[in-house]
Structure 1
């Protein structure tokens, strides 16, 4: 049952939340557009329509990335306003504890979190390919980020935070290898890697091995250089269609 105080707090929080959402997303879009200014100038008269089309698909992604920050800022602004107007003090004098004051905001934030999960699991994967297609046709890509690709031949999953297409370098590399029973066989983490022409050479690599039951076998192996046995090539990494952040949990689980 909603009390009058709950309705008052909710009415104060919801407009503030949406105001923060529009403001922060707007700042993100402006900064991102400025970074792509050279590409936009080359597009000429088509730039405006392409930008509208591109950022229409980007909005769900931006919301998924910035939702925690938006919620935190909105809650902070509401509480600051209440404190400035001595409303929190008045509520406490009336016998309402601080936790009870925050309860409607907490419940509303949880409900919005479910909406954010639905956005990540349903909306973003649905339009991920369209977004990638628009991005590829609109902006030239010299570097890809957050790559997740599978080597089915070697039962291996490779994730790289960045991939420089021109130099053939990957950074923040993590590899999971699996055995025939689909259990974890080994993991490799490396600071960076470079394509040598026929293999990936990883630097500052750490390898952990696991037995058939998936239990870790000590000790871990630390290597300054490590050649990764894989069929993955820079061409395959550059052809990755969908960024890992645009995949749903089920899609990521299927890869693993």
Structure 2
């Protein structure tokens, strides 16, 4: 049962975190608008599209920087408690430091469950809307979506089939600079290319524009051309999208099925998908670790006041983000195990939390 002190600290925990989000969300939006306003005006983007984008941006941005906001909010209000000698009074009443941590752990549990569910169901849709807008309006000239950098997709869809697209628009379900290669016993049997290929949901087939098919023959190649051609292929629409882009937009169940399908195909990009999957679990767990570190750092009354605690907190928060980004990229670009890469920051900072907690108890 929660005591008055528990309710008091828990209320401070949740309200300060909510205020921190409410303060930084507009700042993030203002910075993003200042960077993209020229493109928005140039491409004449409708106001409704912009409003929907910033709704998705807010969810995406908050989820991305959630550990920093949580960490700083805990340090902020705990430092205030320490400076007001409230923590000394609580501990002097006979409450142990471990018991003092209970409302913090309860608060971390509430936020972790919330972030976990958000990551499973809500954040993927926000990520899809966020990326759709960026690739449709901001990385190209208007509606020529995803003609920007790092959008090339090259995949092996079976033992003898390969596809390539330069870019993909999820709204129109259109890929650009498409090519399909079919091999037979390690020799190219034929190659199909098109300036763009569009998925037709009603007929469940693809329409290719500026179609060219080159069939390799012993005495000479046979070339077939058409301005427009419909065809059915064995690959899915998701196979045409950029690797991280598609992984971020799938809910938990969809992502698990997608990873299994990619494993059976022998995809070289499985590590990238696994990093996205493991982060859905590791980020909520970081709430507990960062909460304990924040309390241990800020519970002591310091001569430098709140400023010193915040300085230490900001340094630790950015160190956590640095480790998270470095090891995530390492897993995506190398053979480093994705599970270890994603959980390594939590392991390192978990050990740091235990060390700091022991010192704080003294």
TM range (shorter): 0.5 to 0.7
The SS at the match of 1:247 is: coil
Equivalent residue in structure 1 for 2:149, among 118, 143, 168: 143
1:12-51 equivalence runs, <5 A: 12-44=12-44, 46=45, 48-51=47-50
| 1:62-93 deviation per Cα after TM superposition (whole angstroms, max 9, x unaligned) | 22212211111111111111011110111111
| 1:146-171 deviation per Cα after TM superposition (whole angstroms, max 9, x unaligned) | x9986321499xxxxxxx97xxxxxx
- 1:54 is matched with 53
User: Would the alpha carbon gap of residues 93 and 148 (structure 1) be closer, same or farther in structure 2, given more than 3 Å must change?
Assistant: farther
Asked if the contact 1:125–1:246 (Cα under 8 Å) also holds between the matched residues in 2, the reply is: yes
Unaligned runs of 5+ in 1: 157-163, 166-231
1:2 matches 2:2: yes
Tell me, in whole angstroms, the C-alpha distance in 2 between the residues paired with 1:89 and 1:108: 21
CA-CA distance at 1:239 after TM superposition: 6.2
Asked if the contact 2:131–2:245 (Cα under 8 Å) also holds between the matched residues in 1, the reply is: yes
- 1:153 is matched with 158
- 2:109 is matched with 110
CA-CA distance at 1:136 after TM superposition: 3.3
Asked if the contact 1:121–1:249 (Cα under 8 Å) also holds between the matched residues in 2, the reply is: yes
Tell me, in whole angstroms, the C-alpha distance in 2 between the residues paired with 1:150 and 1:7: 54
- 2:77 is matched with 78
The SS at the match of 2:136 is: helix
Asked if the contact 2:124–2:248 (Cα under 8 Å) also holds between the matched residues in 1, the reply is: no
Tell me, in whole angstroms, the C-alpha distance in 1 between the residues paired with 2:150 and 2:4: 51
Higher strand share: 1
Tell me, in whole angstroms, the C-alpha distance in 2 between the residues paired with 1:107 and 1:73: 18
- 2:254 is matched with 251
1:222-241 equivalence runs, <5 A: none
Asked if the contact 2:60–2:126 (Cα under 8 Å) also holds between the matched residues in 1, the reply is: no
Q: Over the residues paired in the alignment, what is the CA RMSD in angstroms? A: 3.4
Tell me, in whole angstroms, the C-alpha distance in 1 between the residues paired with 2:8 and 2:247: 40
CA-CA distance at 1:251 after TM superposition: 3.0
> Which structure ranks higher in relative contact order (CA pairs < 8 Å, sequence separation ≥ 6)?
2
- 1:180 is matched with none
Q: Which has more radius of gyration?
A: 2
Unaligned runs of 5+ in 2: 141-145, 168-234, 260-362
Asked if the contact 1:60–1:119 (Cα under 8 Å) also holds between the matched residues in 2, the reply is: no
Asked if the contact 2:59–2:123 (Cα under 8 Å) also holds between the matched residues in 1, the reply is: yes
- 2:88 is matched with 89
Tell me, in whole angstroms, the C-alpha distance in 2 between the residues paired with 1:38 and 1:70: 29
Tell me, in whole angstroms, the C-alpha distance in 1 between the residues paired with 2:250 and 2:104: 30
CA-CA distance at 1:36 after TM superposition: 1.6
**TM-score normalised by structure 2 residue count:** 0.43
CA-CA distance at 1:133 after TM superposition: 3.4
User: Would the alpha carbon gap of residues 149 and 71 (structure 1) be closer, same or farther in structure 2, given more than 3 Å must change?
Assistant: farther
Asked if the contact 1:61–1:246 (Cα under 8 Å) also holds between the matched residues in 2, the reply is: no
**TM-score normalised by structure 1 residue count:** 0.59
Tell me, in whole angstroms, the C-alpha distance in 1 between the residues paired with 2:26 and 2:48: 17
